């Protein structure tokens, strides 16, 4: 039994203004709007400029929460940033974000769990709040995958977009309906080679050769990943529902990682959910990795689809390979 309950107190998102459409991509690689739409569900995505690193996009998302007035920067006691496209290898993007927020010393760190990063971040923050160590934590998913994209590889360059989503988790008061009910995370490192950035780390440091061979960009075996994604996202959703005595029928909303519309549809079918209960924005933003779930969540709260008290399931899958789910009453 945990000492305290945890809830989502605020959620927001930010994306760059510049839009890259399928038609634009037709001019870059041998692809077509028709192929991209039918194979992925994507129509356009946002691209960050050179002057805007991940920390800046993250800050824009975070500022929107504070502008609403209820939560103030000084309330934040912990910052977790989920990203595979940090400003630097070190220091962490979380520390840079803390500086931008202008707040007193608090713990701030990054986590690397690919597209599942936001789910991992919420899971970590939940522990700290439940056991009473902190009352308020900021969890950000931010990604600028277009900065590590191989623009000659049509199998990957059509997929990714940039964006940030931020959530403030706080201790819930007794009797409140809002609650993060449960989280589930898992990983399978043996599949790590199916999705990675080969160079730039300690295994293959940057050299002229690694740059020439485009090894500082995303490598992905999309076909194999697809099959594992369908299974593991379905499993993550089923496990968390079953262990809480629930089924898909009980959910008001499903928000999955936005990697491919066919993966989203397969997960919804496994839960026997009608498409009306599934939040999808892949057509606007493509795959924004760790940012995709908080962006979709924030948009659905903002436009009034998700209301206080709704039962929501978050479900993700990504590099690692990692996967996980969060069950919550908003
Ligand atoms: N335009 C036109 N044709 C293309 C394109 C393109 N952009 N990309 C691939 N093709 C071609 C291939 O060359 C292949 O042609 P061939 O049959 O002549 O060899 C054909 O289309 C089929 O290729 P597949 O790779 O089998 O296509 P698939 O239907 O699997 O779709 C995709 C590819 C969209 C990448 C899909 O596999 C997918 O979504 N995979 C999962 C991605 C994912 O979930 N990643 C994890 C998260 S990302 C992260 O963590 C950073």
Range of the domain at 61: 5-172
Same-domain status, 81 and 202: no
164 and 186 inside one domain: no
Nearest CA to ligand 1 atom 41: 226
Alpha helices in the chain (DSSP H): 22-26, 33-40, 54-67, 93-101, 117-130, 154-157, 208-212, 222-243, 261-270, 282-285, 292-302
Please check whether residues 272 and 323 belong to one and the same domain: yes
CATH number of the CATH domain containing 96: 3.40.47.10
Structural domain count of the chain: 2
| pLDDT for 2 | 81
**Where is the domain boundary, 172, 201, 231?**
172
What integer pLDDT is reported at residue 28 of this predicted model?
A: 96
**Co-location of 57 and 206 in the same domain:** no
Query: Same domain for 199 and 109?
Result: no
Look at residues 172, 206, 236 and tell me which one is the last residue of a structural domain: 172
Instruction: Check: CB of residue 157 under 8 Å from CB of residue 151.
Output: yes
Say whether both 281 and 162 belong to one domain. no
Residues 196 and 159 in one domain: no
pLDDT band at 249 (very low <50, low <70, confident <90, very high): very high
Are 76 and 211 contained in the same domain?
no
Confidence of residue 1 (pLDDT cuts 50, 70, 90): low
Domain boundary among 172, 195, 218: 172
In this structure, the residues whose C-beta lies within 6 A of any atom of ligand 1 are 31, 35-36, 39-40, 114-115, 154-155, 158, 195, 222-223, 225-226, 229, 259-260, 263, 287, 289, 318-319
Helix, coil or strand: residue 160: strand
Read off the pLDDT of each residue in 141-154 and give the average, rounded to a whole number.
97
pLDDT at 145: 97
- Residue 3 is predicted with a pLDDT of 85
Of all protein residues, whose CA lies closest to atom 8 belonging to ligand 1? 155
Asked if the bond preceding 91 is cis, omega within 30° of 0, the reply is yes
Same domain (yes/no): 140, 258? no
Give yes or no for residue 47 having a pLDDT over 90.
yes
The mean of the pLDDT values for the chain is 97
Q: How many CB atoms lie within 10 A of CB 219?
A: 17
Kindly report, residue by residue over 62-97, the tens digit of the pLDDT.
999 999 989 999 999 999 999 999 999 999 999 999
Shared domain check, 204 and 147:
no
311 and 272 within one domain:
yes
Among 115, 150, 260, 281, the active-site one is: 115
């Amino acid at each position: 039994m945990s000492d305290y309950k945890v809830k989502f107190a605020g959620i927001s998102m930010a994306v760059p203004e510049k839009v890259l459409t399928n038609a634009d991509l037709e001019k870059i690689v041998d692809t077509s709007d028709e192929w991209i739409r039918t194979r992925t569900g994507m129509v356009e995505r946002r691209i960050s400029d050179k002057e805007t690193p991940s920390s800046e996009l993250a800050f824009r998302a975070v500022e929107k929460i504070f502008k609403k007035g209820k939560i103030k920067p000084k309330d934040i006691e912990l910052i977790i940033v989920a990203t595979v496209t940090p400003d630097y290898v070190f220091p962490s993007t979380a520390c840079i974000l803390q500086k931008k927020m202008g707040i007193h010393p608090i713990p701030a760190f990054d986590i690397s769990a690919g597209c599942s990063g936001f789910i991992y971040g919420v899971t970590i923050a939940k522990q700290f709040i439940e056991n009473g160590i902190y009352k308020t934590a900021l969890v950000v998913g931010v990604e600028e995958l277009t900065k590590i994209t191989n623009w000659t590889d049509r199998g990957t360059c059509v997929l990714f977009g940039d964006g940030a989503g931020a959530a403030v988790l706080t201790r819930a008061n007794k009797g409140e309906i809002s609650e993060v009910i449960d989280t589930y995370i898992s990983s399978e490192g043996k599949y790590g080679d199916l999705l990675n950035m080969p160079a730039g780390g300690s295994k293959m440091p940057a050299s002229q050769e690694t740059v020439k061979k485009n090894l500082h960009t995303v490598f992905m075996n999309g076909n194999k990943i697809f099959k594992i994604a369908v299974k593991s996202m379905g499993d993550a959703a089923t496990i968390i529902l079953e262990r809480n005595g629930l089924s898909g029928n009980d959910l008001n909303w499903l928000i999955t990682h936005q990697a491919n519309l066919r993966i989203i549809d397969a997960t919804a079918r496994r839960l026997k959910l009608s498409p009306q209960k599934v939040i999808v924005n892949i057509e606007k933003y493509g795959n924004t990795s760790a940012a995709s779930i908080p962006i979709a969540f924030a948009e659905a709260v903002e436009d009034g689809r998700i209301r206080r008290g709704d039962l929501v399931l978050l479900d993700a899958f990504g590099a690692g390979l990692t996967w996980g789910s969060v069950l919550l009453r908003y």
